[in-house]
């Protein structure tokens, strides 16, 4: 079993495993037996950090895997795990935050989360489905939604709170009224979208970054093949006797951030943990830095003529 290193979060004594297990399997469905089996096998391999979301409907299968792992003695106590979930945009309304978290905990069969994230800096009308309609998109009231997130932490239903897909500008706005600053910002990050500016900003503010879609999420509706098909990454992988996926994960790990990577394939789940006992050298790192940058994630679905996001620029604030 692999022991995964951890990093300290701002909250006293709380740590986050630097490699976590992603659970977004499209199309999203809770009756996915494969998700439960994969999560259980992941625990066997040494994964301790599980990234779920109400949107993915992966909370229930992950919860079942945790219960089984405990009954099999694969972990001695729930405290050995780091469980993340996310508040979906139809619930980013002050009065809906706590009920959404309570529902998430029910799905997982847990008393608390380790990390609760605002999934995306947008709101949808309460009750909106997914995929949502243009008319469903409304502006998010950062101050009141964050207050409700803080309340969740004060009620000890989650150890820490954070955000996802936030730019420097949006973090700045949130920090202006936050009493508890976000512990984490989970964002797209891989060799093709390196997030240099955001990483610098978050480091200065003490906000830990978790990288999602570290392999570019090839084959998903929100993914790109540019990462796995990169000739530079292939060249480095060959020279090291490693795979492109391992080079991506190693590069992210070397930046001092955590990463969540999804595979439901036993061999690839194992491969994705084999990143600790070898190094990328200065030349490899330099080559990766030169890779042309482009964002992969599917933000276009939030852009409408009436706003609040009238362009992709409004979502990402022109930040690269």
Ligand X SMILES: O=C[C@H](O)[C@@H](O)[C@@H](O)[C@H](O)C(=O)O
Ligand Y SMILES: NC(=O)C1=CN([C@@H]2O[C@H](COP(=O)(O)OP(=O)(O)OC[C@H]3O[C@@H](n4cnc5c(N)ncnc54)[C@H](OP(=O)(O)O)[C@@H]3O)[C@@H](O)[C@H]2O)C=CC1
Catalytic residue positions?
Answer: 56
Rounded to an integer, what distance in angstroms lies between the CA atom of residue 83 and that of residue 304? 34
Q: Per CB under 6 A, does 120 bind ligand X?
A: yes
Site string for ligand Y, 14-53 (x = CB under 6 A): --------xxx--------------------------x--
Rounded to an integer, what distance in angstroms lies between the CA atom of residue 98 and that of residue 76? 29
Q: Per CB under 6 A, does 298 bind ligand X?
A: yes
Long-range contacts of 240-244 (CB under 8 A, 24+ apart): 240/278, 240/280, 240/284, 242/274, 242/278, 243/271, 244/215
Residue 172 labeled ligand binder: no
Q: Per CB under 6 A, does 166 bind ligand Y?
A: no
Q: How many CB atoms are located within 10 Å of the residue 202 CB?
A: 21
Q: Per CB under 6 A, does 262 bind ligand Y?
A: yes
The burial of 241, by beta-carbon neighbours within 10 Å (0-12 exposed, 13-18 middle, 19 or more buried), is given as exposed
Please select the residue that binds ligand Y; options are 68, 147, 271, 319, rule is CB under 6 A. 271
Q: Which is nearer to ligand X, 92 or 160 (CB)?
A: 92
Q: Per CB under 6 A, does 219 bind ligand Y?
A: yes
Whether cis (ω within 30° of 0) applies to the bond prior to 98 is no
Site for ligand X in 4-33 (CB under 6 A): 24
57 binds, among ligand Y, ligand X, none (CB under 5 to 8 A by kind): none
210 binds, among ligand Y, ligand X, none (CB under 5 to 8 A by kind): none
Q: How far is the CB of 219 from ligand Y (least distance, A)?
A: 5
Q: Per CB under 6 A, does 268 bind ligand Y?
A: yes
Question: Residue 160 in contact with residue 183, Cβ under 8 Å?
Answer: yes
With CB under 6 A as the contact rule, which of the stretches 1-9, 27-35, 65-73, 261-269 interacts with ligand Y?
261-269
Q: Per CB under 6 A, does 167 bind ligand Y?
A: no
Q: Which residues bind ligand Y (CB under 6 A)?
A: 22-24, 51, 119, 164-165, 186, 212-220, 222, 243, 245, 260-265, 268, 271-272
């Amino acid at each position: 079993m692999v022991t995964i290193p951890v990093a300290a979060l701002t909250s006293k004594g709380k740590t986050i495993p630097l490699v976590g297990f992603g659970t977004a399997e499209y199309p999203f469905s809770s009756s996915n037996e494969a998700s439960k089996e994969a999560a259980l096998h992941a625990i066997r391999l040494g994964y301790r950090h599980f990234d779920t979301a109400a949107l993915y409907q992966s909370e229930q299968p992950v919860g079942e895997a945790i219960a089984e792992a405990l009954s099999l003695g694969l972990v001695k106590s729930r405290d050995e795990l780091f469980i993340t979930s996310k508040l979906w945009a139809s619930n980013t309304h002050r009065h809906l935050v706590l009920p959404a978290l309570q529902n998430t905990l029910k799905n997982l069969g847990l008393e608390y989360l380790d990390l609760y994230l605002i999934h995306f800096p947008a709101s949808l009308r309460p009750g909106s489905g997914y995929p949502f309609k243009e008319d469903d998109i409304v502006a998010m009231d950062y101050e009141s939604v964050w207050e409700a997130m803080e309340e969740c932490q004060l009620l000890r239903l989650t150890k820490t709170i954070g955000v996802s897909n936030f730019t420097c500008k949006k973090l700045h706005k949130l920090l202006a009224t936050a009493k508890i600053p976000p512990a984490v910002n989970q964002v797209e990050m891989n060799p093709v979208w390196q997030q240099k500016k955001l990483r610098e900003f978050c480091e200065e503010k003490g906000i830990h970054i978790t990288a999602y879609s570290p392999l570019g999420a090839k084959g998903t509706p929100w993914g790109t093949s540019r990462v796995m098909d990169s000739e530079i990454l292939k060249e480095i992988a060959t020279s090291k006797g490693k795979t492109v996926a391992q080079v991506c994960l190693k590069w992210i790990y070397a930046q001092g951030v955590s990463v969540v990577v999804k595979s439901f394939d036993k061999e690839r789940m194992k491969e994705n943990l084999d990143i600790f006992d070898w190094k990328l050298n200065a030349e490899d790192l330099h080559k990766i830095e030169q890779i042309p940058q482009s964002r992969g994630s599917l933000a276009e679905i939030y852009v409408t003529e009436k706003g609040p996001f009238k362009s992709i620029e409004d979502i990402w604030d022109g930040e690269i």
